[in-house]
Amino acid sequence: MGFSSVVGQLLSGVVLGASFLNVVQTSDLMHVISETGVCLLMLNSGLESDLKEMRKYIKASTRIAVLGVVVPAIVFPLICLLLVYTLPIALFAGVVFSATSISITLAVLSEQKQLATPMGAIIISAAVLDDIIALAAVTLFSIVIGGGTLGISSLLPLIAFAVGILLRKLSFSAFIGKGTTRIGQWFFYPVFFGSIGLTITVQGLGDKILPIIIFSLLAVITKFVGSSIGARLSGLSRRVAYAIGAGMISRGEMALVIIQIGLSSHIINSATSSEFIVTVIISTIVAPLMMKPLFAKV
């Protein structure tokens, strides 16, 4: 249907889990495979991060990343508090929806042949900075709010991302990236995203429709507005700014990693995580639909 594979993997988990067919249940083995998938995902994100290219547009990408983080980080907690969520959950929502999906944005940029353009480099740089800020924030958050301890899923994603950036300097980094990406895409990623889908209980979301709709609108608007303003402040044209804003909307795998960290650190429960995951799925579907026409105009 032209959607991201992440969406299909998530929905597969929903269909195979307790919400519908109930033929697959979570297990310790699945948890280990999922944790490995998270680390591979973050390792590959680091391997795809070209620091030299990022330095060329560091000022613009920094403004875009900071405003792309600040706007949802402020708006989401305020709205969550109005919807009578607790303060820790409200603050955590701001962290979750501050992240940007690198892989989904990369896929659309490549399809539109914009990957090697200045706009493509700026979007990737800003998305990487977004994710570094979000991962650092959730790591600190899990220490302060989550009982003062870090589980493996709280610490390893940040380490794996840093290792990926360091490995990129090696002459055979492309070979490593190709191998780990292939292994991840064929096995570890589907299990990770599918296992997240297993945690969603559709039957329990009936009274959460309004929050999900509100969160989904906020997920699109806050990123688009914040990132577009950052692009305009950097002297970019309105057309390019809108395209960059659209390119920063998708939350995808990074937000899902952060949600899993929140679950393992006991910051949120499975019911709240289901609301956030459904919102992530919606933003992941909407983002490419907005990106394609706006990228085509640049």
* pLDDT at position 70: 94
- End-to-end, the C-alpha distance of the chain in Å comes to 25
* pLDDT at position 232: 95
CA distance 39 to 160: 6
What CATH number does residue 260 fall under? 1.20.1530.20
CA distance 12 to 9: 5
Question: Are residues 163 and 43 in contact, defined by beta-carbon separation less than 8 angstroms?
Answer: yes
Domains: count for the chain: 1
User: Which H helix or E strand runs over 235?
Assistant: none
* pLDDT at position 244: 93
CA distance 279 to 251: 9
* pLDDT at position 60: 92
> Residue 109 has which token pair?
């940029």
* pLDDT at position 114: 74
> Residue 282 has which token pair?
């919606």
User: pLDDT digit string (tens) for 126-183?
Assistant: 888 887 888 788 777 767 765 555 555 556 776 787 898 889 888 888 888 889 889 9
Q: What is the pLDDT along the chain (298 residues), one digit of tens a residue?
A: 766 677 788 889 889 998 889 999 888 899 889 888 878 887 887 787 677 777 888 899 999 999 999 999 999 999 999 998 999 899 999 999 998 877 667 667 766 777 667 888 888 888 888 878 887 887 777 677 655 555 555 567 767 878 988 898 888 888 888 898 899 889 998 898 888 888 777 777 778 889 999 999 999 999 999 999 999 999 999 999 999 999 999 887 778 878 887 887 788 888 888 899 889 888 877 887 888 888 888 7
> Residue 256 has which token pair?
């899902």
Residues in the chain: 298
54 lies in which domain range?
5-296
